[in-house]
Structures are given as C-alpha cells and as structure tokens.
A and B are shown apart, each in its own frame.
Chain A
C-alpha cells in the first residue's frame, strides 16, 4: 500500500489582530509543502493572512480519561465569575 505523507495540523490567522485558529489537517512531505497545500486548501477565499503548520504527532493532548479530574473542579467555583457578586443597582460603572 502507498503510504500517506506526514499529517500536519493547520492553523490560520484570519486577519492581523486575531489568533491563529485550528482549521483542519493535511498530508505533506515536508513543512514547506504543508504550508503550500494549506494555502491552496484553506485560504482560497481570503480566509487568512498567516499559516502555521504543526506535525500532528508533535501535539500533546490532555488524556480524555482524565477529563473529569482536570476540568470538573472548576465547575463549582462560581465565585470566579463576576455574576457571583451582587451589587446594588444604584451603584454604577462596576
């Protein structure tokens, strides 16, 4: 079977001032080709002004099995949100 080229994840900055955002992935022989392909595939309608590509294997992700341990503790800490605090209506600009 023919093997696929390396898988890259593609991140695009839509315009100056915005962050790069993950848009998808593609296969390429090297990083330059990955950028060229990303340009052809993900920016045909002026979707971006900058491209990052990262080998998918180089991305480290949180273990989904640990999702509860990692993220549930934030669930009951409502005092971290501004709406937790009640301020009389007469008080302005706060």
Chain B
C-alpha cells in the first residue's frame, strides 16, 4: 500500500540475551491482549524501526499524492468540482501532517524524514508516479486509489501503536468523501457523451493495474508481513486486502459500464471471488526503484516547493523572535 517497500527490507537483529527475550515476551503478551503501545512504553527496536519506516512512507505518500491531483485544480470543469478537489488535496496535506506527527512520537524529527524524501532515500506509494493525463483521472484516483487506500487504512485504525491508530481513525473519517466524489465524477462521465465515456474508460484502463499494485507484493514475496502481523501493525496480508478491493471494485466498474482491462478476469464460483490475470511485478519494482513515468518529476516538484518556501519559514522564525510578545489574543479560560 503506501508502505510497499517495507516488504522488501531485511529484518533487524534479534534479541540475544535472556532479559531481552523476557522483555520481548512481555511486549508480545501486551500485543496479544490487544493493549495499545504508547510512545513512552518500552518497545523492541525493530518494532520502533518498522513503525517509523511505515508511518514515514505513508506520510510521504500523502504529501507526494497531492501532486497528481493538484495538477488539475486550475482546470476543473466547474466551480463545484474545483472546491471539491481543493478540499481533497488539502485533506491529503493534513493527513501527511498527522502521520509525520505520529512518526515523531517514535523519536525521529519531521525535518529528518522530509530530508530523506527530498534526497530520494525514502519511499512513497508507487501509485503517485503515474501521470494524470485527463480530467477523468481525477475520478479514477478518487474511486480507485482512495478506495484502495481506505481498504488498507481501516484495519490500521486498530494498529497496536496508539498514535498511528489515532491518526488513522481521523484519516479514515475524512477520507470517506474522497472515494465517493471520485466515483460520482466517473458516474457523471459514464452518463455523458461518447467522448466522456471514452475518457472514463481510458482513465480506468490506465489506473486499474497500478491500483492493484498499491497493496504491495504478493504474500509469498512479502518478507515483513509475518512479523508485522504478529505485532499487529498490519492486520491483513497484501493479497487478502487486494482481493477485497477487487471484489468490491469490479461490480462498481460494471455499474459504470466500464470494461475491466484484464481478459483473464473471471468470477470464481468456488471461492466466491473475482480472479484476475497476473500482475506485472516487474513494472512495480521499476516504479519503486525510481523508474516510473513521473518519479523524477514528483521529487523535483517537492524539492522546488521546499526550497522556494525556505524564505517563508525563515521569515516566520525571524518574526517570532522579533515579537516574543506575539501571543494569541486570549489566554486560556
């Protein structure tokens, strides 16, 4: 999902003495009792490390995810669509902040995480390295990309780490409109002219497979899933979530009159699931490596925004230092 690359990372060193083993066992018991872990509680270094990476990747995804949609704000076809798109992109910025804040409770600074992103050392979801070529892409992103994100994020609301779980609750609440506005946009196109229907079909055809890849590599190749599930960071495997998404989305596509760009897609009566053709994991790996259609453009845009905003941040600090009395109008009461 937003943290696909985690699945490819090697594990950290295990505990090597009896006391450490005992602490690990007590920690696991807490997790097994469904207790939440809070920032000041003892936690294994590998747990902390996995969480920082996962939350940071998720945060970066929210921030980079503003770019493909931001691309269409000035060209939205109506004022209604424009305010909706602005509200959605603004939400994504907020989600990035909630997540950076959650990561900071684990002892890393946001500045360090952003530095890693800008240096090209951090990962974010592969999906945001695809271009938004037409207005229908905005509908496809809301419906498919946010739909897939919600599928992944709802179980994260029950994640064992308190600050991450709380951030996810807030995000899920806000995100439910994102998917619905996207589907409504697609519905409008699907009920429109032949050109509009073709535009919807084209966008769907381009986003369908990248959306399926959002859930990360198949379980067989997902190194971290087992540990992550033992610690209740992750509640469902990549393949389980992907299947859930496929089963939910195929009927929605049919309702729109869209054809699924997969000749092998079929309903399997025995398992009661839709089965898809193979996913091109070579493409997925290439995009994660930095060779997707827009990787360089996305990072360049983030770097430019960061550098061009430097004087604003410096001015705010200078102003605050110059006006220490610049307190809010009211005192607490």
Contact = CB atoms under 8 A, between A and B. Distances in A.
Contacts of A53: 328
B174 A30 contact: no
B97 interface: yes
A33 B313 CA distance: 12
Contact of B104 (A25, A32, A52): A25
B90 interface: yes
B97 A41 contact: yes
B110 A44 contact: no
B56 to A, nearest CB: 14
Interface residues of B, number: 31
Contacts of B87: 44
B94 A44 contact: yes
Contacts of A27: 110
Q: Which residue, B90, B98, B115, has most C-beta atoms of chain A within 10 A?
A: B98
Interface string A40-58: 1100110000001100000
Main secondary structure of the interface of A (DSSP, over half): mixed
A61 B38 CA distance: 13
Given A5-B313, A45-B174, A64-B41, A30 B115 contact: no
Contact of B101 (A1, A3, A25, A35): A25
B92 to A, nearest CB: 12
B111 A3 contact: yes
B112 A29 contact: no
Given A32-B328, A64-B41, A1 B319 contact: no
B332 interface: yes
17 contacts: A1-B111, A2-B111, A2-B114, A2-B310, A4-B109, A4-B111, A7-B104, A26-B97, A29-B316, A29-B317, A31-B326, A32-B327, A33-B316, A33-B320, A40-B94, A64-B40, A64-B41
Given A1-B115, A4-B109, A61-B40, 9 more contacts: A1-B112, A2-B111, A5-B313, A24-B101, A29-B317, A30-B326, A32-B327, A32-B328, A53-B328
Interface of B: 40-41, 87, 90-91, 94, 97-98, 101, 104, 109-112, 114-115, 166-167, 170, 174, 310, 313, 316-317, 319-320, 323, 326-328, 332
